[in-house]
Amino acid sequence: MKKTTALAISITTGDARPVFRQIVDQIREQIGKGNLPPDSKLPSVRALAMQLGINPNTVSRSYSELTAQGLLGARRGLGVFVLEPQQQLSDDAQQQKLEEATKGFVNEVMYLDFNPQQIADHVLAELNKIKNR
């Protein structure tokens, strides 16, 4: 039987993001870094809920969102697994997503005392840390 991979995530009180969003973001990050390879099994919604001290429905919501994004696959009676990377969005939708994300990011960093090249280099460095690219 498939062994569950430990999930090194936590909830931060004071984080502006809702709890379910924090879970979504951290799991994406773990997958992106290769700490959760395809086919690995995640903790059950009840187990992760106990680990994080939250309600199983909240965990289920996070898993549902990641499933909708194509990162996870859930099977009743069996559990939740990391999927092989597969693209859910059309080319247009991806371009739009990139535009939107970039706009938000630029809005956050535009007034910092870094020049554009420094910021772009920093983004490139962080992206290059993601193993599966």
Partner DNA sequence: TTAGGTGTACTAGTTTAACTAATACACTAC
Partner DNA sequence: GTAGTGTATTAGTTAAACTAGTACACCTAA
CB 24 within 8 A of CB 65: yes
Identify the residue among 9, 11, 54, 119 touching a copy of itself (CB under 8 A). 119
* Cα–Cα dist 31/37, whole Å: 7
Q: Which residues pair with 79 in a beta bridge?
A: 75
In one-letter notation, the amino acid at residue 7 is L
> CB 108 → DNA: shortest distance, Å?
16
Helix residue ranges, H only, the chain? 19-32, 45-52, 56-68, 91-109, 116-128
Burial class (CB in 10 A: 0-12, 13-18, 19+), 4: middle
CB of 107 to DNA, least distance (A): 17
Cα separation of 79 and 85, whole Å?
Answer: 18
Q: Quick one: what does residue 10 bind among DNA, a copy of itself, none, with the CB cut-off 5 to 8 Å set by partner type?
A: none
Residue 18: which of DNA, a copy of itself, none does it interact with, CB under 5 to 8 A by kind?
A: DNA
- Considering only the stretches 61-69, 85-93, 98-106, 118-126, report the one whose residues sit in contact with DNA under the rule CB under 7 A: 61-69
- Give the footprint of DNA on this chain (CB under 7 A): 1, 4, 18-21, 42-47, 53-58, 60-61, 63-64, 67, 74-80
Site of interaction with a copy of itself (CB under 8 A): 25, 28-29, 32, 69, 71, 85, 87, 89, 91, 94, 97-98, 101-117, 119-124, 126-128, 130, 133
